[in-house]
Structure 1
Amino acid sequence: MVHQLLNIKQELISISKASEIGFNNTPTTQEQIDRLAEQIEALNPTTEPTKHLELLQGRWRLLYSTFGLERDTTLQRLSFGKLPNVTVRVTGIFQEIYLIDQQYNNVIEFTVGSGVTGITLIKARYTVEDTKRLNIDFLEASTKSANNNLSESTFREALGVDNEVALESTLSFSGWSDITYVDEDLRLMRGNQKNLYVLVRDE
């Protein structure tokens, strides 16, 4: 069983990486990942994930999702309509989960046309619903430069927005997500919109 699990993990991670967060998804890729996900979920070594929240703690990189996010998108779409309608290119998506204050934050790295890099942070908080489900309360959306040496005025100029445009906003909606597989370095989640997420621990 251990050997079988390792083989499925390696194949799932490899195909998920090649999909580039799902941006390069094809019907064949989706079918392969769905099949592998179901197989690995059946072998989940952590049968009651929310009783082992220490396994979730830390920073995770999203390898694949069926969320439908586009590589070229806008800050507005990334922030549920709260941030300005500025076109950006997504380069990485991460999730940071910490037991302190029950943090459940999504971090989206992007570039704008000028080559400036930025980060959109979606702050949220989780509560445990049952042995595998987390309820998620979304609290705030914000964006900033990924370069600490870049001034806010220069970053705003790169985005094409003036000082009157807010780069942070409160959020007030909820969702849930089921942890369907978790070990030391791999996690699968299925959300309330029936989306599948494949994440690996970020070193």
Structure 2
Amino acid sequence: MASLLLFFPHPTLPRLSRSFSSSYSSTGYFAGNSQLQSLKWGSSYPQRKRVYPKFAVNQVSVVDQAPSQPVDSSSERIASLKLKLLGVVSGLNRGLAASQDDLKRADEAARELEEAGGPVDLSADLDKLQGRWKLIYSSAFSSRTLGGSRPGPPVGRLLPITLGQVFQRIDVVSRDFDNIVELELGAPWPLPPIEVTATLAHKFELIGTAKIKIIFQKTTVKPTGNLSQLPPLEIPRIPDALRGSSNPGSGEFEVTYIDSDTRVTRGDRGELRVFVIS
């Protein structure tokens, strides 16, 4: 059984010690000058300093003391890399204003976070996807079209379309996966712009541990602003003129990083997207 050694430092006495069993009285024992002396607590000696036990474990002495704080823990590094990624993409208007250098910096910052976070396993915790996520960056928007690398209506070119906020609404119970896009459509002068919210409804399924497949269902367009009293209009499929032949209505992407408030994904055509919970 490991013995317990107590040290009582005193300015006028040499360092003295004695091993003793777990049964002991209020008498403290000292060994000095080859003689044993005992002193009752509360004697006339000056007030002693705090006693710190020293344990002998497997004949190796270990002083019982508070462990030192780690210089840089894993959680602190991840938090720092998250801030770095959000700082890189925050001024790029969701990717619409991104240059080639911006795309490279965003990709490098995302890869650092992905590496620090480690592999994603949604098969063990699918609830992490649950919620309404706000898109703050998409590398696909650097093409200046709503379709990204897939052909779509141009923004601010042939059609007077202004892109507003973009969200993903995910329900892990019903497996609903809705892309929600706020748009402002230009109208002939002197009519004001038309504000609408387009909801592209999908179903999703988990492939493996981190890959998501979405299957298109329908598009619903709901006027907002001054025309919010109008009913929504449902479109079974996006018109071919807008959707393009290369967009079959379904797609896949991999979740490369996720926590309670941030999600990073990479699409089947290499699109990098960054979301925050809203």
TM-score in same-fold range (> 0.5): yes
More helix by percentage: 1
Structure 1: runs of 5 or more not aligned: 79-84, 156-165
For 1:1-203, list aligned pairs within 5 A. Answer: 1-44=74-117, 47-68=120-141, 77=152, 87-113=160-186, 114-147=192-225, 150-152=228-230, 168-170=235-237, 173-202=249-278
Q: Which runs of 5+ in 2 are unaligned?
A: 1-73, 187-191, 239-247
The alpha carbon displacement at 1:95 in A equals 0.5
Does structure 2 conserve the Cα–Cα contact (< 8 Å) formed by 1:95 and 1:106?
A: yes
Question: Given the superposition, is the C-alpha separation of residues 127 and 148 from structure 1 closer, same or farther in structure 2, using an over 3 Å criterion?
Answer: farther
Identical aligned pairs, as a percentage? 21
TM-score after normalising by structure 1? 0.80
Which is worse superposed, 49-58 or 126-135?
A: 49-58
Matched pairs, number: 184
C-alpha RMSD of the superposition:
2.7
State the SS of the aligned residue for 2:141: coil
The residue identity in structure 1 corresponding to 2:152 is R
Taking a change above 3 Å as real, the CA distance of residues 70 and 86 of structure 1, as seen in their structure-2 partners, is: same
Highest Rg: 1 or 2? Answer: 2
**Residues 72, 87 of structure 1: 8 Å contact kept:** no
Please say if residues 73 and 88 of structure 1, whose CA atoms lie closer than 8 Å, have aligned partners that are also in contact.
no
**Cα displacement (A) at 1:49:** 2.5
TM-score by length of 2: 0.59
1:8 Cα shift?
0.9
